[in-house]
């Protein structure tokens, strides 16, 4: 654990202060002597002495009675707080335990960040421009006309095709590929193996077979976009494929050519968007959702896992199923699904009984 050991330990009171919690909203308000030294952050069911953890939701509440954590982030729940105090566990109170937990991790954990360097094995075209304090790892290839911003971090074996722009502080993880003309904003993270800006899947059927439509467009990732591992975002025949600010895509997400995605969206793993999809802002797509060509999703729309979206989903709508319907309808219909054989039998019996009634009438 040489390269990115956790930062050094700190007192619970320091943690409380750094997280912006007042002493009155922590066990220190009642017992200023209970101020354990903390070394790291752990899950409540795996926590050891000298660590801080958190509790959020009924599922984990019972863990207050058994956890070995020395400190806990708790919701505004007097019973939980008392139970923690009774066991000598320091605690702090917040309306957002999961958010505070995330902030606590950031206090203790130092992510791996290589020092600025241009490795001698990197192959950089003389027409490329490289910003200040950049890390370019071993065997990176940067083609003609590329512009890399300041403090960018390009991990080993990344390949960047011509005329790409990489914004300030953006991180490209190992073995990913950025294709010609892509424009990647500032503070983006592209995870390992991902491909940005490759040719969209454009083939026109003819009697002689597929005619390849050249993909003359490009991909734009606005500031703060993150893309998971082994994903792919394709460029279109003309114009651009665009991912809005702060939108987050998980592993193996496929974004087809000419999609336009708003800001603040989150797409879980293995989501796939066909071509020309229009997605508003703050849209959530759960795992393995598929969206058909030219479909649209309005601001704040949500699709649950494995949903198949066709046509238009209105702003704020929650959809499920394949083909998708309103989520509440889906819940009702899918609950009936397993009773279909029973319904079928009932129907047959009723039919017979009606025939008997009709015969007797």
Which residues are the active-site residues? 257
Q: How far is the CB of 214 from its own copies (least distance, A)?
A: 5
Fill in the per-residue mask, 162 to 191: x = in contact with its own copies (CB under 8 A), - = not in contact: xx---------xxxxx-xxx---------x
Instruction: Please state the closest distance from residue 359 (CB atom) to its own copies, in A.
Output: 10
Tokens 């600025």 map to which residue? 116
- Indicate which single residue of 11, 48, 76, 212 sits in contact with its own copies (rule: CB under 8 A): 212
Residue 270 to residues 216, 230, 305, Cα–Cα distance (Å): 26, 10, 10
One symbol per residue from 102 to 121: x for binding its own copies (CB under 8 A), - otherwise; what is it? xx-xx-xx-xx------x-x
| Interaction between residue 306 and its own copies (CB under 8 A) | yes
Q: Name the minimum Å distance from CB 238 to its own copies.
A: 5
| Segment (H or E) for 107 | helix 97-108
The yes or no reply on residue 314 touching its own copies (CB under 8 A) is: no
Number of residues that bind its own copies (CB under 8 A): 130
With contacts defined by CB under 8 A, name the span among 24-32, 62-70, 77-85, 194-202 that binds its own copies: 194-202
3-class DSSP assignment, residue 344: helix
Residue 327 · residue 320 · CB < 8 Å: yes
Q: Of the candidates 246, 195, 242, which has an alpha carbon nearest to the alpha carbon of residue 225?
A: 246
Among 36, 137, 149, 262, binds its own copies (CB under 8 A): 137
For residues 328 and 93, what is the distance between their CA atoms, to the nearest angstrom?
35
From 12-20, 22-30, 73-81, 159-167, span contacting its own copies (CB under 8 A): 159-167
Q: Whole-number minimum distance, CB 263 to its own copies, in Å? A: 8
Which one among 81, 157, 170, 183 touches its own copies, defined by CB under 8 A? 157
Nearer to its own copies, 152 or 176 (CB): 176
Q: Show contacts with its own copies in window 3-22 (CB under 8 A).
A: 3-4, 6
Binding to its own copies (CB under 8 A) within 232-291 occurs at: 232, 234, 237-239, 246, 248, 250-252, 254, 256, 258, 264, 266, 268-270, 272, 274, 287-288, 290
Contacts of residue 217, Cβ cutoff 8 Å, sequence gap at least 6 = 181, 200, 235, 236, 237, 238, 239, 240, 241, 257, 258
Q: Is residue 117 a contact partner of residue 135, using CB atoms and an 8 Å limit? A: yes
- The distance of closest approach from Cβ of residue 27 to its own copies in the complex, given in angstroms and rounded to an integer, is 22
152 within 8 A of 133, measured Cβ to Cβ: no
Cis omega (within 30 of 0) for bond into 323: yes
Tokens representing 105 are 């991790």
Among residue numbers 340 through 359, which ones bind its own copies (CB under 8 A)?
340-341, 343-344, 346-347, 350-351, 353-354, 357-358
Site for its own copies in 38-97 (CB under 8 A): 40-43, 46, 59, 96
Does 145 engage in binding with its own copies (CB under 8 A)? Answer: yes
d(C-alpha 284, C-alpha 169), whole Å: 26
Binding to its own copies (CB under 8 A) within 20-39 occurs at none
C-beta closer to its own copies: residue 28 or 300: 300
What residues between 322 and 341 interact with its own copies by CB under 8 A?
A: 322-323, 325-326, 329-330, 332-341
Nearer to its own copies by C-beta: 23 or 189? 189
- CA of residue 45 relative to chain centroid, distance: 24
Nearer to its own copies, 32 or 316 (CB): 316
Q: Closest Cα to residue 195, out of 176, 182, 172, 173?
A: 176
Contacts of residue 328, Cβ cutoff 8 Å, sequence gap at least 6: none
The Cα 160–Cα 152 span in angstroms is 13
Sheet containing 325-326, strands listed edge to edge, beginning at the edge strand earlier in sequence? 117-118, 135-136, 153-154, 171-172, 189-190, 226-227, 248-249, 266-267, 284-285, 302-303, 318-320, 325-326
Which one of residues 94, 143, 183, 241 is an interface residue with its own copies (CB under 8 A)? 143
């Amino acid at each position: 654990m040489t390269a990115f050991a956790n930062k050094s330990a700190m007192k619970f009171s320091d943690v409380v202060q750094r997280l912006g919690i007042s002493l009155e909203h922590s066990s220190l308000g009642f017992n200023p002597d209970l101020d354990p030294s903390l070394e790291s952050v752990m899950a409540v069911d795996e926590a050891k002495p000298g660590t801080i953890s958190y509790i959020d939701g009924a599922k984990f509440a019972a863990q207050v009675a058994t956890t070995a954590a020395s400190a806990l982030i708790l919701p505004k729940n007097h019973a939980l707080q008392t139970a923690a105090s009774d066991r000598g566990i320091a605690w702090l109170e917040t309306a957002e335990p999961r958010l505070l937990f995330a902030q606590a991790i950031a206090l203790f954990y130092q992510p791996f960040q290589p020092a600025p360097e241009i490795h001698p094995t990197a192959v950089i075209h003389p027409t490329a421009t490289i910003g200040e304090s950049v890390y370019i790892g071993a065997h990176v290839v940067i083609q003609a006309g590329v512009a890399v911003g300041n403090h960018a971090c390009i991990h080993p074996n990344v390949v960047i095709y011509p005329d790409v722009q990489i914004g300030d502080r953006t991180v490209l993880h190992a073995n990913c590929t950025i294709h010609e003309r892509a424009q990647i904003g500032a503070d983006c993270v592209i995870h390992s193996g991902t491909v940005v800006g490759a040719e969209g899947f454009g083939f026109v059927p003819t009697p002689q077979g597929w005619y390849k439509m050249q993909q003359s467009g490009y991909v734009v990732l606005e500031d703060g976009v993150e893309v998971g591992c082994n994903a792919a975002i394709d460029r279109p025949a003309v114009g651009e494929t665009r991912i809005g600010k702060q939108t987050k895509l998980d592993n193996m997400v496929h974004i087809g050519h000419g999609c336009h995605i708003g800001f603040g969206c989150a797409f879980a793993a293995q989501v796939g968007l066909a071509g020309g999809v229009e997605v508003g802002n703050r849209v959530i797509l759960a795992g393995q959702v598929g969206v058909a060509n030219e479909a649209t999703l309005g601001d704040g729309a949500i699709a649950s896992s494995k949903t198949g979206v066709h046509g238009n989903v209105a702003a704020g709508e929650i959809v499920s199923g394949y083909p998708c319907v309103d989520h509440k309808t889906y819940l009702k219909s899918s609950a009936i699904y397993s009773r279909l054989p029973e319904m079928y039998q009932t129907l047959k019996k009723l039919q017979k009984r009606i025939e008997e009634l009709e015969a007797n009438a």
